[in-house]
Chain A
Amino acid sequence: MSTLSIEQIKESFPVLQQQVHGKDLVYMDNAATTQKPQVVLDCLNNFYCKDYATVHRGAYLLSEKATSLFEAVRGKVAQFINAQKEKEIIYVKGTTEAINLVANSWGRKNLKEGDEVLISAMEHHANIVPWQMVCEDVGAVLKVIPMDDKGELIMEEFYALLSERTKFVSVVHVSNALGTINPVKEICQAAKSVGAVSLVDGAQSTAHMKVDVQDMGCDFFAFSSHKIYGPSGAGALYGRYELLKAMPPWQGGGDMIYTVSFEKTEYADPPARFEAGTPAITEIIGMGAAIDYLSSLGMDFVAEKEDELLRYGTAALKEIEGLRLIGEASKKAGVLSFVLDKAHPHDIATIVDGEGVSIRAGHHCAQPVMTRFNIPATARASLAIYNTKKDIDALVRALRIVNDIF
């Protein structure tokens, strides 16, 4: 458990040590992407300066070093999310690619006409569209677990939707638009009880809480490096090995084969089977450094500090005239999505940016969530481990300026 203060943590993120529009930068678009600590930047620089080469081709020392650094990240990921085996970790570009991989590989092999895939009403488009595409092609049916006005899944409806026709359940761990922490362990257990396979989209949870895929009981789990303080263009898919072993490749190319002739190709075992082509070598190694960084802080520490800040921020925002929070689940991670009576989210974001505060405005790639709450968009401040109470205070001051202008 870390003994660092949040101010000390903030100091290790170079990008945060600047002013924008003449004001100290307050960065609160962390659900979109997170900033990088010096240790991650150093890792990328060191690797490019000292060890860069291709991987898995090593007839020479440099490639052997690069391969060993690259492969070592698999173990770090496995340990970080408590996977049983390293070979259950597949390197991907990010969560979106991970879900597309599962939908295309597992989905196209196993889904048949009349089968049902269950997702939730608060999915990011990345956990809607890949399933729609596959369902449309194979004649399967996509069903949606509804949510209530607080932004919590209605579990009775989930159980009512679940049947022997349900073949796959794919749900988001933490909603990017609402902050809701979903009861994924219960959902995965229930899926298993009807023989369905489950995926948990961990894009918004992995940087903010302890993830244990074995305890969760999911069959697949996906996250992106750039949302856990690592580089963009990298991520990981966890899959239970017996499922991965039975899945066909979804992209063909180098590195994913055992032998190739023009008559027949034998595919490599997982994870290589799903890693065609030269991977994002440096970015994956950087993802390893980000995991080391988070592990050094301790995920219990991270979760506790962010929860404290979320409570502080929730109380502070509620004081602002005409502000309505969107998403008030009893279990929430650091997302403050809101609308103001007088100002449109885009106007809010532009004006608070002028005060140095970076927040998001829009539908957050979750248009069905906006439709559910009957709003076109929200303004969203999303928190990370480097955000302080002073940052929240700056947001509150900026929002008062918005109200003054309108």
Chain B
Amino acid sequence: MAYSNELYQQVILDHNRKPRNFRKIEEPTHVCPGHNPLCGDHITVYIHTEGDVVSDVSFEGSGCAISKASASMMTESVKGKTLAEVKKMFEEFHGMLMGELDVDQDQHKLGKLSLFQGVKQYSSRVKCAALSWHALVGALDLKTEISTE
């Protein structure tokens, strides 16, 4: 078994091959480009909100399998959620990548996003998984106490 199997799980590979919500929203209420200058990944997140609910979310761009799959699965996870729920989810996802949240022990509502827990072992890849999330919270201008730096 290859060492990297834990990272490149079938679900992640599937989202990389067939990213969901990989499109532009024509009249988004929020939009934010995310860029990782280290590797040249570009992901733009488009959001449409109604009241405080994310009614539609999508992304475009190019990047590695981890950043693309993470963006794809993020769009599926946050659609229909309130802004407060999105913020909580971001904090849990980020906590998981930083090794502060143990998805097997701690309470969380990450669902299948917990597949990305393997990324925390690859410090150079944490930013790949986090890129679209930073664009999302940036677009929504959700104040969080988390920084990538």
A: residues with CB less than 8 A from B are 21-22, 343-347, 350-351, 353-355, 361-363, 367, 370, 376-377, 401, 405-406
Whether B39 contacts A347 by the Cβ 8 Å rule is no
Inter-chain contact A354/B3, CB cutoff 8 Å: yes
Most buried by A among B8, B62, B63, B122: B8
Q: How far is the CB of A128 from chain B (nearest CB, A)?
A: 15
Can you show 30 pairs from A to B with CB atoms below 8 A apart?
A21-B3, A344-B63, A344-B65, A345-B64, A346-B39, A346-B64, A346-B66, A346-B124, A346-B125, A346-B128, A347-B8, A347-B66, A353-B3, A353-B4, A362-B39, A363-B40, A367-B40, A376-B41, A376-B42, A376-B62, A376-B63, A377-B39, A377-B40, A401-B2, A405-B2, A405-B4, A405-B8, A405-B13, A406-B16, A406-B65
Interface residues on B, range: 20 to 34
Kindly list chain B residues whose C-beta atoms are within 8 Å of the C-beta of A22. Answer: 3
Complex CA–CA separation, A22 to B122 (angstroms)? 16
Q: How far is the CB of B62 from chain A (nearest CB, A)?
A: 6
**Nearest A residue to B3 by beta-carbon distance?**
A354
A370 to B38, CA, bound (A): 13
Q: Would you give the shortest CB distance from B90 to chain A, in whole angstroms?
A: 23
**Does B7 sit within 8 A of A, measured CB to CB?**
yes
Chain A residues within an 8 Å CB radius of B125: 346, 350
Decide: A376 near B8, CB < 8 A? Known: A344-B63, A351-B2: no
Within 8 Å by CB of B4, from A350, A370, A377, lies A350
A363's nearest neighbour on chain B, judged by CB, is B40
Supply 4 further A-B pairs (C-beta < 8 A) apart from A362-B40, A370-B40.
Answer: A344-B63, A347-B64, A363-B39, A376-B62
Restricting to B64-108, which residues have a CB under 8 Å from any CB of A? Answer: 64-66
Q: Is the CB of A354 within 8 A of B40?
A: no
| Residues of chain B in range 1-21 having any CB-CB distance to chain A below 8 Å | 2-4, 7-8, 13, 16
CB distance from B108 to the nearest CB of A (A): 25
Contact bitstring B112-149, A, C-beta under 8 A = 1, else 0: 00000000001011001000000000000000000000
Q: Are A361 and B40 in contact (CB under 8 A)?
A: no
> Which 5 residue pairs spanning A and B have beta carbons closest together?
A354-B3, A376-B40, A344-B64, A346-B64, A354-B4
Cα-based distance from A363 to B35 in the complex (angstroms):
14
